[in-house]
Amino acid sequence: MLNGCAAEDFVTTRLASRSATVRFGHEAGHNYRPRCLRVSLGSRIRFEGPFDAHPLAPGRVEAGIPIDEDTARGPVSEVLGGQSAEFVAATPGRFGYYCDSHVVEGMMGAIEVVESVEVESGEVRGAP
């Protein structure tokens, strides 16, 4: 389990597009949608929402508290302002992220980067 995401929770984006969007704030409230995202290596991951209200930070969360660890390998980096940010999934693995202001409420998520994604439909499926 990483930031509330078990292996079966990760939803897959369309391989052909090699891009995915995670939304937060606004209609998503204090949530990331999808919260648990699987993308293929090299995909672009776009975060859309109010970063000033929900500053983004990379990392693992346990019992509501971020864990101090090296987060350099993951695709996500800190974003403190603006309405969108884009990252590239350059390294395989599972990487956590969270809202630095609302992590204690459980506003967090994870991205799984795999070599290739098995596609079942043209859309993100099973969004939690």
Show the binding pattern over residues 72-111: x = contacts another protein (CB under 8 A), - = does not. --------------------------x-xxxxxxxx----
Q: Does 5 bind another protein (CB under 8 A)?
A: no
- Residue 113 backbone phi and psi in degrees, to 5: -105, 120
Greatest Cα pair distance in the chain: 37
- List strand residue ranges (DSSP E) for 13-73, in order: 19-24, 32-33, 36-40, 44-48, 56-58, 61-62, 65-66
Show the binding pattern over residues 38-67: x = contacts another protein (CB under 8 A), - = does not. ------------x-xxxx-x-----xxxx-
Q: Does 123 bind another protein (CB under 8 A)?
A: no
Residue whose entry in the numeric block shows the structure tokens 């693992």: 60
Q: Does 31 bind another protein (CB under 8 A)?
A: yes
User: What's the closest the beta carbon of residue 44 comes to another protein, in angstroms?
Assistant: 24
